[in-house]
Amino acid sequence: MPELPDLQIFSKNLHLALAGKKLQRIKIINKSKLKSSLQKIKKAVEGNRIKKIYREGKEIHFLFANNNVLGFHMMLRGRLHYFDENNSHKYTIVELYFNEAPGLALTDYQGNANVTLNPIMKDSPDALSKEVNYKFLKEKLGRKATIKNVLLDQDVIRGIGNAYADEILWNARISPFSISAKIPSAKVKALARSIKSVLAQAAKKIDRAEPGIIGGEIRDFLDIHNSRKKKSPAGATIRVSTSGSRKTYYTNEQELYK
DNA sequence: AGAAATGTTGCGCT
DNA sequence: AAGCGCAACATTTC
């Protein structure tokens, strides 16, 4: 559910709420979702203060004073909630209990969200990092895969998901079905700009729409990947192509390179 | 009430 | 062989 702009804002808000707080206890409800052993996780983080909370690709990382990192991956349906003794959630994976701060729960009714101690990051750059520029894209796009699939490939760039891939490609006016290697240089430059601007502006909108947000979704402002909209801001009819249960939204304003 | 939503993995096809 | 695309996972929300 959450994509890069959502996670960017969630992690910022979590940092504001929880940095400096001591983790009293981590309660594991669904052990099968731990990518590291329960004992190791408890030993590594319980009793430690949180130094920083930030986003890495599609994960949220909790950095502790002893330099251990706890990584949460929401997958499709993971969600964060603050809780107290008066509310409980179904489908909880872990609960974090703090001194002088509300507890934080990670839930997922689909059961795919997961927790890793000191996650090993892929060496592909984050979508918002400086490394993702024209030169980088030019090199990485030299292949036959469609441009949308390359943008979604976390081994190329970390952080772009299905909905924002469509938004970015419309912004750059490139058809999602274009063969990556066939996209001309001028368009690759446009794409580099669109990646940054679409993601950064979306994060701002989410931040403004709901200050303090740490879960859920706000996507009414998406221009193209939005089932409630029929026309692009430029006036073209939005088309939908389905593959399995996921959809690609696009318009004929986007150039197809084959 | 029923369609739509999301990321990653593994498998099959080229 | 390597690269590419697609289906499946499960349940809630609109």
Range of the domain at A66: 4-117
Q: In this model, does residue A88 exceed pLDDT 70?
A: no
Chain B nucleotides reached by a protein CB under 7 Å: 4-8
Residue A182 lies in a domain: yes
What is the Cα–Cα distance from A196 to A139, expressed in whole angstroms? 18
So what's the pLDDT on residue A86? 53
Q: Which tokens hold the place of A36?
A: 């590291």
Please tell me the predicted confidence (pLDDT) of residue A123.
85
CATH of the domain at A34: 3.20.190.10
Go through A202-233 and write b for each residue having 16 or more CB atoms within 10 A of its CB, e for each that does not: bbebbbeeeeebbbeebbeebbbbbeeeeebe
What's the confidence (pLDDT) of residue A84?
63
CA A88 – C1' C5 distance (Å)?
40
Same domain, A167 and A227: yes
Residue nearest B5 (alpha carbon to C1') = A1
A10-67 pLDDT per residue, tens? 999 999 999 999 999 999 888 878 888 889 999 999 999 999 999 999 999 999 999 9
CA–C1' nearest nucleotide, residue A163: B6
Per-residue model confidence as pLDDT tens digits over A103-155: 999 988 888 888 999 998 888 999 999 999 999 999 999 999 999 999 999 99
Average pLDDT of A188-199? Answer: 96
Number of domains in chain A: 2
In a domain, A204, yes or no: yes
pLDDT at A85 over 60: no
The nt closest to A110 (CA vs C1′) is C10
- The answer to whether residues A152 and A238 belong to one domain is yes
Decide the pairing of beta strands A59-64 and A69-73: antiparallel
Whether A145 is covered by a domain: the verdict is yes
Closest nucleotide C1' to the C-alpha of A219? B5
- Contact between A236 and A251 under an 8 Å Cβ cutoff? The reply is yes
* Confidence at residue A143, expressed as pLDDT on a 0 to 100 scale: 92
Task: Please tell me which residue, A253 or A77, carries the higher pLDDT value.
Answer: A253
Q: Picking from A76-80, A88-92, A132-136, which range would have the lowest pLDDT averaged per residue?
A: A88-92
Interface residues 82-121 of A with strand B (CB < 7 Å): 110, 112
Can you tell me which residue has its alpha carbon closest to the C1' of nucleotide B4? A245
A247 touches strand B (CB under 7 A): yes
> What pLDDT score does A100 carry?
83
Q: What is the pLDDT of residues A195-240, one digit of tens each?
A: 999 999 999 999 998 888 898 778 888 999 988 888 999 999 999 8
Which of these three, A117, A144, A162, is where a domain ends?
Answer: A117
Check if residue A178 sits with its Cβ under 7 angstroms from strand C: no
Protein CA at A196 to nucleotide C1' at C3, angstroms = 28
Is A77 within 7 A of strand C by CB distance? yes
Q: Do residues A169 and A149 lie in contact, with contact meaning Cβ atoms separated by under 8 Å?
A: no
Residue A73, nucleotide of least CA–C1' distance: B7
